[in-house]
């Protein structure tokens, strides 16, 4: 499988260009999926403190090592600092909780999950909410001091590389200017309908690798979003079913999922499709025996809807748009 080289503190790290996503998967599903993925050749797993999948992943990895399938350095594990721990003073303790659950002594990549922060409910490590249902914004935290605490984790050997997720252009530039250890990766929503062309150009100029989350358009999240975002299920984008994607699948004798993923990796974008289905887990990584022609790549590039293609705007965190670091202000400017 292809890897991208990440430059981090005094070393170059290899990041496999395809990883397994684990958001919204239940423990039994994660257990089966991570095992099936490792058997299918995945060496990169994406999780986060607030997915509640770290503990199960830790169990699977421990079994995988114990049974002699490989060593720690064969794997690339990403996890994320939650928005309720998004302040300098909390970075170390949240990372330690993640490492404990994952049963690992380090992670390869630690990301600040979101640029905005909420006060923390210390009982269950979730965001605190106010009586009116709005989220309790922590307006005092600042992304620069949080980044400095992230850098300390690299220096202590607890993480190999650090990066950002859901940060916008100006937030990335602010961090980059002050960083002693530059962000290695930006993880953002990225698929055929939201191709993030400007953000990708910025990252390229700064030497930051880009990971696409929801690379298939997160089709299984339609029910979740219809309750959380008031989305009508019928309005939820069906990128896998787009006629152009289906026609290319027919032409290359591949699945629509493989066409969407190949479109991204062919442009050096890391992909982390989630699946709990063993067949889809296998096909989602079988991307290296074909190449989309320049003409077909252009056809897929033309599906971009820019901001109108965005699915994840986090407005289900009621009141989040009032946080000074809410990253998608342009979406609500018209309100």
Ligand X SMILES: NC(=O)c1ccc[n+]([C@@H]2O[C@H](COP(=O)([O-])OP(=O)(O)OC[C@H]3O[C@@H](n4cnc5c(N)ncnc54)[C@H](OP(=O)(O)O)[C@@H]3O)[C@@H](O)[C@H]2O)c1
Residues between 146 and 185 with contacts to ligand X, criterion CB under 6 A: 165-166
* 26 phi, psi to nearest 5 deg: -75, 160
Q: How would DSSP label each residue in 313-335?
A: --TTSTTGGGSTT-TTHHHHTT-
Size of the site for ligand X (CB under 6 A): 30
Please tell me the distance from the alpha carbon of residue 239 to that of residue 86, in angstroms, as a whole number.
33
Nearer to ligand X, 65 or 312 (CB): 312
Q: Is 263 annotated as a binding residue?
A: no
Stretch that binds ligand X, among 19-27, 83-91, 140-148, 155-163 (CB under 6 A): 19-27
Q: How would DSSP label each residue in 219-230?
A: GGGHHHHHHHS-
- Asked if 280 touches ligand X (CB under 6 A), the answer is yes
Please tell me the distance from the alpha carbon of residue 57 to that of residue 110, in angstroms, as a whole number.
16
| Token reading at 262 | 């190949």
- Asked if 127 touches ligand X (CB under 6 A), the answer is no
Please tell me the distance from the alpha carbon of residue 251 to that of residue 254, in angstroms, as a whole number.
8
Question: Is residue 51 flagged as an active site residue?
Answer: yes
Query: Which residue number is nearest to ligand X in terms of Cβ?
Result: 220
Stretch that binds ligand X, among 1-9, 85-93, 132-140, 279-287 (CB under 6 A): 279-287
Contact pattern for ligand X over residues 215 through 254, marking x by CB under 6 A: xxxxxxx------------------x--------------
What would you report as the CA-atom Rg of the chain, rounded to the nearest whole angstrom? 19
Q: How far is the CB of 95 from ligand X (least distance, A)?
A: 16
Nearer to ligand X, 263 or 274 (CB): 274
3-class secondary structure for 274-302? ECCCHHHHHHCCCCCCCCCCHHHHHHHHC
| Token reading at 158 | 């607890």
Among 82, 85, 127, 273, binds ligand X (CB under 6 A): 273
Going by the annotation, the residues of the binding site for substrate are 113
Residues making contact with ligand X (CB under 6 A): 21-23, 46, 113, 165-166, 187, 213-221, 240, 255, 257, 272-277, 280, 283-284, 312
């Amino acid at each position: 499988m292809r890897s991208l080289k990440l430059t981090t503190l005094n070393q170059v790290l290899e990041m496999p260009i395809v990883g397994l996503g684990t958001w919204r998967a239940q423990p039994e599903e994660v257990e089966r999926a991570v095992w099936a993925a490792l058997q299918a050749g995945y060496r990169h797993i994406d999780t986060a403190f607030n997915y509640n999948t770290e503990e199960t992943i830790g169990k699977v990895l421990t079994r995988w090592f114990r049974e002699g399938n490989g060593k720690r350095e064969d794997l690339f594990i990403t996890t994320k600092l939650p928005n309720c721990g998004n302040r300098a003073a909390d970075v170390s303790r949240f990372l330690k909780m993640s490492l404990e659950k994952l049963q690992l002594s380090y992670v390869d990549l630690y990301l600040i999950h979101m640029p905005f922060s909420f006060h923390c409910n210390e009982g269950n490590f979730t965001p605190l909410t106010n009586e009116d249902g709005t989220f309790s914004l922590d307006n005092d935290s600042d992304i620069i001091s949080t980044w400095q605490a992230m850098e300390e984790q690299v220096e202590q050997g607890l993480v190999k590389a650090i990066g950002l997720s859901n940060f916008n252009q100006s937030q990335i530039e602010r961090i980059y200017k002050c960083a002693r250890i530059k962000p290695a990766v930006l993880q953002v929503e990225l698929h055929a309908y939201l191709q993030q062309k400007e953000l990708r150009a910025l990252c390229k100029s700064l030497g930051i690798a880009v990971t696409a989350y929801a690379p298939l358009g997160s089709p299984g999240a339609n029910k979740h979003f219809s309750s959380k975002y008031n989305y009508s299920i019928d309005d939820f984008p069906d990128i896998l079913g787009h006629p152009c994607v289906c026609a290319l699948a027919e032409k290359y004798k591949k699945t629509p999922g493989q066409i969407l993923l190949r479109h991204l990796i062919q442009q050096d974008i890391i992909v982390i499709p989630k699946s709990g289905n063993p067949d889809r887990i296998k096909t989602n990584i079988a991307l290296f025996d074909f190449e989309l022609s320049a003409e077909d790549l252009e056809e897929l590039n033309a599906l971009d809807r820019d901001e109108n293609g965005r699915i994840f705007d986090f407005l289900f965190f009621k009141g989040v748009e009032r946080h000074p670091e809410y990253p998608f202000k342009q979406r609500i400017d018209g309100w």
